[in-house]
Amino acid sequence: MTTSDIVTYLAPGRRAHLVGIGGVSMAPLAEVLHGQGMVITGSDARESATVEHLRSLGIPIYIGHSAENLGEAELVIRTAACHDDNPEISGARARGIPVFERAQAWGAIMKGYKNALCVSGTHGKTTTTSMCTHIIMAAGLDPTVMIGGTLPLLGAGHRVGHGDTIVLESCEYCNSFLSFFPTIAVILNVDADHLDFFKDLEDVEHSFRAFADLVPEKSGLIVANRDDENTMTTLQGETRPILTFGLEEGDVHAQNLSYDHGLPTFDVVCRGESFAHVTLQIPGEHNVRNALAAAAACISLGVPHEAVEKGLAAFRGAGRRFEKKGMYNGAAVYDDYAHHPSEVAALLNAAMGLGYKRVICAFQPHTYSRTHALFHEFVEVLSKPDVTLLAEIFAAREDNDLGISSKDLAREIPGSEYFPTLKALTARLRELAQPGDLILTVGAGDIYTAGEALLKE
């Protein structure tokens, strides 16, 4: 089934059943389709605040999966986590009900908007999509938004707007962004990641090139990171218009960059002209790049300089992106979703410039395949903090066929400590915390609960 097939099904009055409706990009999808007049039902593995919210809109949701949940559905949309052996998927196929991927549904929705701003990249997608949202909202464009994290401005990870612009975080995993129809495609960086799906870096680059090639040849635009070698390699020979951004070079770049207590201030220069003066409320050089990417994308949408200045000044980070959780025994406790060595390095470089006495990093690797493939990079970057605590690997979607453990990392990282449970790790954080420390819980799994447990005391 292709995305073009699904377009005919997404019409007012049609009945769609969403499998895994409580997921980060499934819930907003349900809300958008419901808002367009479709009859939506759904199922999820467990109760959650998201499920409750959707029910409050009048969407019936079943807990647990059964073919009977399909009811009178005319199509089924599934999250990537639900496989063919799910009883609702196999039940739909048995009844001849078409089954579509979540990304195909978003692709079909995006066709209805004049501007589809799709933010891709191995790292920084959530932050940059959030920054774009802030700027576009400041410009009064009333966008529809889909972000893979919570944005305080929206009180959620999504927004259903009535303007002609849609902003989407666009993920390369399983090539899902190849179902999209971007008019502006942002590529923040290209790195070897998701190696449980991609063969190698070249395979990842091939996927991003295919994404860039989805942009309309005449009317579309690619916004690309000039500082990232892999991005530039990916786009070699590209005939579509490209607007580059970079720290010091590129069509859009920073000038007069300075830091005050780790927070950057700079001028945004666009094609030789000074466009905006920006002060960020989040630290790190990587966030200067993210802000330049967001500014470049929004400039191409025609937003005024005031919107760039106001939008970025008001942005204080997305959920789980250097998010302050509280104070414990005089130590500041922050949480971050970084799970690739490049992301952890950017986070630690920013954190270590903030003037804390010690940086204590509690890291939980995410997936066995990533830990195995990037083992030496993890050892190198996790040797940087003053104290490194390692939680066991978060399995996510995998079985441990590689026989790897965080214990293996701990053996290679001087002074690091390994904890088989988060409870034991939390107890160690409690012993370590001193006034002036920065405690970071880091990873894409459930490591954030260690920091939350510490603060509950």
Question: Which sequence positions are flagged as catalytic?
Answer: 125-126, 169
CB-CB neighbours of 377 under 10 Å: 15
| Residue with token string 């303007």 | 163
Residue 117 burial (C-beta neighbours within 10 Å; 0-12, 13-18, 19+): buried
Query: Long-range contacts made by residues 81-90, C-beta under 8 angstroms, separation at least 24?
Result: 81/20, 81/23, 81/397, 82/19, 82/20, 86/19, 88/17, 88/19, 88/43, 89/19
Cβ–Cβ under 8 Å, residues 323 and 105:
no
Distance (Å, rounded) from C-alpha 378 to C-alpha 386? 15
Cβ–Cβ under 8 Å, residues 266 and 278:
yes
Backbone dihedral angles phi then psi of residue 133, each to the nearest 5 degrees: -60, -45
Three-state SS at 125? helix
DSSP letters spanning 374-413: THHHHHHHTTSSSEEEEEPPB-TT---TT---HHHHHHHS
